[in-house]
Structure 1
Amino acid sequence: MRFFFRWWVFYPALLIAAGAIILASLGPAVLRHEARPVAGAVEDGALVLAGDALSHAEASPETVFYVARNAGWRVTGLRVAVLPGNGPVKPEERGLRVLLAGDMAQALGSGPFRVDVEVAPVPVTTAPFLALGLDRGGTIEWLTQPVSVVESVISYTFAASASGALQAIALRPVATLEDYNYGVEIRSIRIVPIAGAGAS
């Protein structure tokens, strides 16, 4: 026991123990991010992406993102921000994409769709606009809507497309200032197949 309390043994052991405690407290957050298709859940004919379904998004060069978790390490949302200098979303951008599993994509078809996004502001740096796009196998179709200063649901309506089945939902905050990363927290995405709607 005396040997353990010698400084060249005790302090390295203390550092190792402290590191182990920190890693344990981080839990799944230390795992490497894996972008992969997700299935979501079907509710009343709509596909709902929430919780773990938001934790496997595919990154884009214009954005940064963070998977928010509660004390029990359950996913509570997806924070996404645009990097300074990117301005309005461009047609060729891919955005931060939530990829859909093949069976869900085929079941949803090619639209038309209404997409309801539950959005929460982030402290100080909330983006004033959120662009949402549908990836149906071709160029992503983008629509941009304003973001409220309180938690709210933003709706986007897309017409049917001949491009193919819906493959992914793309997200891209839009900022008017270029001094910081401005973004939002996505709590859920609800994809509702509808009939006879045009893009708006």
Structure 2
Amino acid sequence: MDAGKCRWGGVRSGRTTNERQAAMSVSDQVRTGERADLLAVLQRHRGFLRHTVRDLTDEQAAQRSTASELCLGGLLKHVAVTEERWARFAVGGAEAMQSTPIDWAGQFRMAEGETLAGLLAEYDRVAAGTDALVTTLDLDASHPLPEAPWFEPGAAWSVRRVLLHVIAETAQHAGHADVIRESIDGAKTMG
């Protein structure tokens, strides 16, 4: 093993033994506890979503194949944008979530010059960031939700609730993606 690396992949930093043990404890929790379960479910649904775009061209990924305005590339973009916004919320609350503008309609379409490979790479980047956060954040920490007609006024969500919401959002859109893909060429995620 590289002398500059710790066994869990981090760079040695002059941490005390207790700090190293605490970091390993969090790492162990991720592999065995609630955090591992949350990540496993999220990763499974991400996999379903990714599976729906296998072997497609950019043109097929941008195609509206149902009565919906949705396309597969747009769904990937939307899920990545949504996951990243909720990750910012988990860290810094509503202000952090809203720190970058969002193109509400454009996030559901592939824009000129966007490619399926690029959207998948962005989704992978966002997923890796979320996965890393799950290993470090207090799942019980909470923040007040942003003001919006779809949120109960004055409500707050814990990091755990945010992760459950991201899982539900990903699963729901993986189902949408399956219908869209089947409409394009008959391929299905399952069955």
TM-score by length of 2: 0.24
Which has the larger helix fraction? 2
- Structure number with higher relative contact order (C-alpha < 8 Å, ≥ 6 residues apart): 2
Rg larger in structure: 1
